[in-house]
Structure 1
Amino acid sequence: MRLSFAALMLIVGTIPAGAQWLDRPTPGIPRTPGGTPNLTAPAPRGPDGKPDLTGVWNGPVPEPRLDPANAQAWVSDLVGQRQRDYHKSRPSYRCLPSGPEADRFAGWKRVLQTPSAIAILNDDLTYRMIFMDGRELEATPAPSWMGYSVGRWDGDTLVVDSAGFNDKTWLSRYGQPHTEGLRVRERYRRPDFGHLQVEVTYTDPAAYPKPWGFTANMALAADTDMLEAVCERSSEHWAGSLSDAANRAVSVPPDVLARYVGVYTGTYLGIRRSIEVLLSGGQLIAKVVGAAGVDGGETRPLVPQSQTLFEGVGLGYQFIVDDKGVATDVVEIHVSGPYTYSRQRRPR
């Protein structure tokens, strides 16, 4: 039986793996007696006495969590539509800039700091300019993919205010939209030589009654350097949607579905995580717990394609059962291969 793994195809087909040189010693950085980079040394400072954020940074994908009650009805409708369409319209899946999306605060980037401006160069060849020359944030800047940013220092914290985003970008990989009235505030702190923390707040009353955001953490990429990672193929030619999977759905008795409920643990791309399978309203629901990457924490319906094979927003889920029909494992099927998760317990 054919499964349309559209979402997974987007992941492996459009987003290049972050690349970097290996074994390239970074000159002029503090080191331990053993010669390794001392990432807990004091943060460097510029001529003005402020922390210098210059360097190559890398970090995990942050997990923004939006309270569903803090969204206008049109936002919830559009998020649902994008999920049913396997997120194929996500800008980065179409080789377009991510703009203010939370994932922009992950991955490889180079920061170049001067007294009058700070440049952030991303490995996908997009960039941002943060003007530090005292100018005010324009009230109605021309809409663009990356927005218009001005910064100032609040003690040792860099405060960046941005506006002027077009409404073509998302705020997270889960499909949260925004309007052209979006304002973004970032607060950067470099507590020591090797770590950078960013608090991000989105304000867009036409879409979200209250401001919301997340915290991203990055580490200095010492003794290596960043290479470009170019998007070469877009999602425009991919097909498949949740409705397609529903049209192929088969009937599975509720007592059979109940035997699949539980918590399964395994490893995906070297990251330990769990898949919690729930039964709600006669349908299985999968939630990835403690994940990083494309589907961390996202709740996804599982549409039965056979008695043991289900499709969940572009991924396949094959339950392995014992002689009593009770699931012992679930195999998450990606284009890159199958990943097995062993059952641990039933959720409370």
Structure 2
Amino acid sequence: MTRFTVLKHDTTTRARLGLLLTRRGPVHTPAFMPVGTQATVKSLTPEEVRATGSEIILANTYHLLLRPGPAVFEAVGDLHTFMRWDGPILTDSGGFQVFSLAKLRTVSEQGVTFRSHIDGSLHELTPETVIDLQLVFGSDIIMPLDDVVGYGEPESRQVEAMQRTHRWLSRALDYFVARTMSSEPASRPLLFGIAQGGFRAERRRTSAEFVASLPLDGIAIGGLSVGEPKQELYALLQASLDPLPEDRPRYLMGVGAPEDLWRAVSLGVDLFDCVLPTRLARHGALFTENGRIDILAVRFKFQREPVDPCCDCYTCQHYSAAYLHHLFRAKELLAYRLATIHNLRFIQNQMARMRTAIAEGTFAQAMEAFLTRYGNAEAGYAGEPLLYEGER
């Protein structure tokens, strides 16, 4: 059974229009996955997330392990039942969260032991237990445990992490096959692999070649957007993509700025996730066609028009920029909800625009038009809040 089909290639870039089939429905690619770290896209109901145009969301194994814990899912039903989301869910393995959040972590060949950032309790993740957890969650796309390194770590540590990630992936694949071999192909979850390699292009290619050699349903590119300069990110991404086959989806983990989405799609990426759109929204940083704005700025106090007159989201169709400015100044909870709806709809509109441009053979022109209009305004934005560690 073919689970991923490239429907069309752009003629002047490497952008691809595709269709990914999961057991809970199709995903039209390029696609962006809103992050529901703890079984919720913060401040929104599943219906509101769906209304932004989102077909698939992401949840996190590390956080769900710690709270509410696998026993809750075994008692009340899988993640879909628990959070009332009926579409596909990808769960990442928790490797990045262990790297960025966990206290006193110890990495060994067996796996990783760590103390919870919540209460200090001791836990262990191995390639096998990560698969078990995601099967309990009912995940539609499962990610294996990987060994993540930060920008600037020693070369020896980068090599070690890549090689260990490969060994862990082989263990995870064997275990996944054993656990799901009795399932019908259409009803089993998908397993992606994660290519690492640190911050050398040759290692990136080596890791991508190894992951591509295995019978996996998709290939993720991890360990980027962790502090490296943007141009280095793009160069390493290109090195990671070059060896990958055409017949499987490519997932760039943890990247979600609008300009980065356009550029990464032009290089051949199909799937994305990132906390950035929702995180920024809760700080009053909103995407518009003319760049990112800070809704708390005094210039919006008397603006009767919506934040973005071009936007078709619920927020822009019903509320003025002045009202959002007031909500944020007053720290009213509705502010976070309306801003999150807007930012997610903006991102999903960009993904839809990309898909249309690929289909029409105009992707390069559409990207140039977006980057010219958005990027010039974005250069003047000063209020960029830091990401919460452990979120993507």
TM-score by length of 2: 0.27
The structure in which a higher percent of residues are helix is 2
Structure number, greater radius of gyration: 1
TM-score by length of 1: 0.30
